[in-house]
Amino acid sequence: MSGAQMKFLPVATAETAEYWAGCRRHELLIQRCADCATYQFYPRLMCTACTGRSLEWVRASGHGRVRSFTIVRRAVAEAYAAEVPYVVALIELDEGPTMMSNVVGCSAEQVRMDMPVEVVFEDWTGDVTLPKFRPRAAGTAAR
């Protein structure tokens, strides 16, 4: 085994297992409350709007907009050093929830506030796939 540092891998919990399974299938899943129709992310046991417990997993459009971002120029660990500079962003999904991810597919300097983006998936291991976002092509309608 090499001495290279591994990237930090997410660990599925009871609340997040379905989300991570969807990512492995390259599907972005979010929760929707069957009682009040509110979408939410990150996964929880109850609805943040009505406290109902009738949550279902639905496939998100994968479209959103950059609401805030930072450019990381100094890696948080050696395992990420080859990726700098990279963008960590808050992405507001068209369905409403906001999630933190990376913007890929363009230079860090090209990322802008309110930039339309779409989800892409990056397979890190056989068990871990992460959703990331790239600029949405002009003329690509939201679903």
Cα(15)–Cα(43) distance, rounded to whole angstroms?
6
Instruction: Check pLDDT > 70 for residue 19.
Output: yes
CA 25 from centre of chain: 14
Q: CA 140 → CA 76, 110, 129, 136, distances in Å? A: 34, 18, 24, 7
In-domain check, residue 2: no
In-domain check, residue 8: no
**To the nearest whole number, what is the mean pLDDT of the chain?**
93
In-domain check, residue 130: yes
Q: How many domains does the chain fold into?
A: 1
In-domain check, residue 119: yes
Check: CB of residue 132 under 8 Å from CB of residue 103. yes
Structure confidence at residue 102 (pLDDT):
98
In-domain check, residue 3: no
In-domain check, residue 77: yes
In-domain check, residue 69: yes
Residues spanned by the domain of 72: 17-135
In-domain check, residue 142: no
pLDDT digits 0-9 by tens, 55-64 = 999 999 999 9
Task: Give the 3-state secondary structure of residue 81.
Answer: helix
- What residues contact 77, with CB distance under 8 A and at least 6 apart? 5, 7, 8
